[in-house]
Amino acid sequence: MRKPLRLDEDYNEYVKDFYRKIEDYDWVKATDTTVGLESYLHRYRSRRMESLMQRYGKGDRYLDVGCGTGLILRRMPAGAVGIDLNPRHLERAAKHAPHAHVQSADAEKLPFADGQFSTVICTEVLEHLVHPEDAVAGIHRVLESGGRFIGSTPRHALLWRFRFLSSTHFHNEPFHNEFEEAELRELLKPVKILLLEKKFFRSTFFFVCEKE
């Protein structure tokens, strides 16, 4: 198992600045239209996350950590909160999910009260974080007792070697991690894992956790 990365804060800010200032990918557009082979992956992820939310989501106080342009946020209950570092994403998310509240915030430093949410979603975000353990600790903190944490992240798999074929992928992306199962289980230790599955040609982990 690879050890968690604790890189210096200058590098961490460099990575975050990429998302604040450069990255401009619209997951809703890539899912609802066909921009390339990646559209099929995005559609699968969206359907699977919606299914997991319907089956495992609790209450109606939802938080989407790293909401992007609102792909999953638009399927959440009214009043859901979506956060992202990217102002371009937030502008689009506000249009795609008009029933939700969106705001600029750092996934590694969640600006919410303890126990504020009943369900937290974090899909395709942890792999972009230099310190994902800080994000998981924050998610655990803002969940109420018995609250659910539902998410997805890439698995270390052959499929991701072909990311260069994507017509829309940012090839200068500064940081991207693909998790081994033991590594992901270690990362999710603050919460109880209810479900951990490998889907889409075993390239992606989907998980459901609960705060005890």
pLDDT of residue 129: 95
CB 160 within 8 A of CB 130: no
Domains of the chain: 9-210 (3.40.50.150)
Token readout for 89 is 């994403």
Residue 162 confidence (pLDDT) = 57
165: left (phi > 0), else alpha (psi -120 to 50), else beta?
alpha
The pTM of this model reads 0.92
pLDDT tens across the length of the chain (212 residues): 344 455 578 889 999 999 999 999 899 999 999 988 889 889 999 999 999 999 999 999 999 999 999 999 999 999 999 999 999 999 999 999 999 999 999 999 999 999 999 999 999 999 999 999 999 999 999 999 999 999 999 998 666 565 655 666 666 788 888 999 999 999 999 999 999 999 998 899 999 999 99
* Helical residues (DSSP H) of the chain, grouped into ranges: 9-21, 27-32, 38-56, 87-96, 132-142, 181-187
Burial of 67 (0-12, 13-18, 19+ CB in 10 A): buried
Q: How far is CA 50 from CA 44, 64, 118, 124, 133, in A?
A: 10, 13, 16, 14, 25
